[in-house]
Amino acid sequence: MTASLPTAREPGTAYRIGTVCLGNICRSPMAATVLGELVDRAGLADRVEVSSCGTGGWHVGQPMDERAASTLRAADYDGSDHRAQQLGPGWLAYDLLLAMDEDNLAGVHALAGEVDPARVRLFRDFDPVGPGEVPDPYYGGPQGFADVLAMVERTGVAIVAALERM
């Protein structure tokens, strides 16, 4: 049993999903690229927008980490348009913010004070394999990036299935 999606804040406008990590150059842009592509393939592109940000600002304006980008390319996803953005108050208007790990979730809570727990949660709350974190691959080897891709693909499929049921 996976989590259910919160209702749209403004019916009739695009449902906005933001993925959140630390640097916004590895995990959350990988998740947003894959989820965005799955949304597109499902024919939901005019109803759902997906973007990503990081709780830290060190990489703002930079493209994705090359290891993340090449992991995506090898699986036929294109993350070349990504430029890193930092989490700020505007993101709190999203319908759903999905944090990659508990630290990132705490970062959203630190910005927001009180949040609707249905709208700010861990990305893997929707993972059909079970809940958990998407571990930070930045200081590790290629397997970490492959693991991130597998997690975001299977979880993205489940999120799109839930979007189709909305």
Tokens of 75: 């699986």
Quick one: 19 or 120, whose CB is closer to ligand 4NP? 19
Shortest reach from residue 47's CB to ligand 4NP, in Å: 27
| Phi/psi at 9 (5° precision) | -65, -40
Quick one: 123 or 126, whose CB is closer to ligand 4NP? 123
The answer to whether residue 27 forms part of the interface with ligand 4NP (CB under 6 A) is yes
- Tell which residue, 22, 85, 18, has the closest CA to residue 50: 18
Q: Does 21 participate in catalysis according to the annotation?
A: yes
State which of residues 19, 24, 51, 85 lies at the interface with ligand 4NP (CB under 6 A): 24
Give the CA diameter of the chain: 43
- Position closest to ligand 4NP via CB: 23
The answer to whether residue 31 forms part of the interface with ligand 4NP (CB under 6 A) is no
Q: Does 27 participate in catalysis according to the annotation?
A: yes
- Tell which residue, 97, 100, 98, 155, has the closest CA to residue 127: 155
The answer to whether residue 83 forms part of the interface with ligand 4NP (CB under 6 A) is no
Q: Which residues contact 39 (CB under 8 A, 6 or more apart)?
A: 45, 48, 50, 160, 163
State which of residues 5, 17, 26, 39 lies at the interface with ligand 4NP (CB under 6 A): 26
- Of the residues 16, 27, 67, 119, only one is catalytic, namely 27
Q: Which residues contact 74 (CB under 8 A, 6 or more apart)?
A: none
Quick one: 85 or 163, whose CB is closer to ligand 4NP? 85
Q: What angle do CA 55, 18, 118 make, to 5 degrees?
A: 100
Residues marked as catalytic? 21, 27, 136
Binding site for ligand 4NP (CB under 6 A): 21-27, 54, 58, 136, 138
